Structure 1
């Protein structure tokens, strides 16, 4: 139970167990009240009569996003401040965002695009800078462009290194994994008869170009994570990439003992375990879902990625 930010006003209707109950503060105390609240969200109060509902003025950072509504018939309400993810019901470019939030222990909501009308309404709303998804509502921002979203979340939740050098290393590792993820994401779109050729290309790139880099990094410094000695965005994206490649070839890590150890460590983290459980917001690989997605964006297969950033 959160401590009440306004312990000075006593009344009958407080819903907090750990503090006195409250009633509407007199208007004469409103200026000092606003000052005392600081980062807490200010509310409008009626001078002549109590409001039936509190009117939120502005949002504070998500970890402090709570606000109070006062009257005999009002309850103290808590706004979760959860990020809201706008995307279709599939992995695509949003899956790395889901992974990053989940690994950071951040709960999020999803507004799933189910039809072309849903996407058109989102565009008409004016919040899609380039008329593309993914989009994430967070801290009063409408973030678009996948890397911009990921960098913001990584920095916000201390997953982006402690200095410029570590940030550069994280960026380099992540960009490599992004190249690998792109190949895997495009794999269901390959033309009939080219599946085996494309699969072999992905596996060759994974085992000869990308995984050796991460194996060497973990071996060279002997630490549990790629950069420094704490989990970063790079580790989360590497773990996601490993799982994606294993879906294509289950023994892909047989020649990479350090990556095997890395995967085992990451799998034991509580936030990761939670996201791996059935029923989580993690999306499964579903090639058949592409038909639904193409209908949402009204594009043919060759132009499928036009509306994805």
Structure 2
């Protein structure tokens, strides 16, 4: 039996989609969470000085999307053909593009520029992306691609679970298809079990 060790900070962040997928696969993994003050000693042992990092039988994988794609394939959630696979990749890249805008806003420490970023984020960027996501999901049977669950849907639910903590609002509110999709993923028994047992960790640094 293979062994899995996931190393990340003591937050949801970029590791949570990986944790969701490992849980979906019913893989018993070591959830290694490091605190901020430990990072300096851990960083030299990472491939490119970044986390998350997934070790499979001692072999190191890094880069969130690459790991998620790998696990998505293992779970049969990466598409039945090349066309489905690329549509899933596109969906995930779009989700990540929007999430990056939220991260840039949240971690900005300049009060003036943060206010400007926030105005654009909530008045322009958020409706732009989420209205498009809502339409895509409504046209695909409640999922991002081809009327069925894919790792893009799990990625979305995991990221949004953390986003609510960052911006303190439910960004799928008023978008019934996205809200339903999020609930669908969070109610998958393996994922529901993970969200119930995971550490009640700090929300962010």
Does the alignment reach a TM-score above 0.5? yes
Match of 2:190 among 271, 285, 298: 271
Contact 2:24 2:190 in 1 (8 A): yes
Alignment pair present for 1:108 and 2:29: yes
Match of 2:97 in 1: 179
Shift of the 214–188 alpha-carbon distance from structure 1 to 2, 3 Å rule, reads closer
Match of 1:207 among 109, 127, 137: 127
**Larger Rg: 1 or 2?**
1
Shift of 1:190: 0.5
Which one has a larger percent helix, Structure 1 or Structure 2?
Answer: 2
Matches within 5 A, 1:261-300: 261-277=180-196, 279-281=197-199, 283-286=201-204, 289=205
Matches within 5 A, 1:47-196: 65=1, 81-114=2-35, 115-116=38-39, 118-119=41-42, 123=45, 128-193=46-111, 194-196=113-115
In structure 2, distance between residues paired with 1:211 and 1:189:
21
- Residue deviations 1:190-222, cap 9 Å, x none? 0231443333333332221x222221122223x
In structure 1, distance between residues paired with 2:103 and 2:56:
26
Please list every run of at least 4 consecutive aligned residues from structure 1 whose deviation after the TM superposition is greater than 4 angstroms: 281-284
Q: 1 or 2 for the larger relative contact order (CA 8 Å, sep ≥6)? A: 2
Matches within 5 A, 1:211-226: 211-221=130-140, 223-226=141-144
Match of 1:4 in 2: none
Alignment pair present for 1:198 and 2:117: yes
SS at match of 1:253: coil
TM-score by length of 1: 0.57
TM-score by length of 2: 0.82
In structure 2, distance between residues paired with 1:86 and 1:252:
28
Contact 2:105 2:118 in 1 (8 A): yes
Taking only aligned residues, the RMSD between alpha carbons, in angstroms, comes to 2.6
In structure 2, distance between residues paired with 1:264 and 1:131:
35
For structure 1, the 5+ residue unaligned runs are 1-64, 66-80, 290-309
Match of 1:239 in 2: 157
Contact 1:275 1:281 in 2 (8 A): no
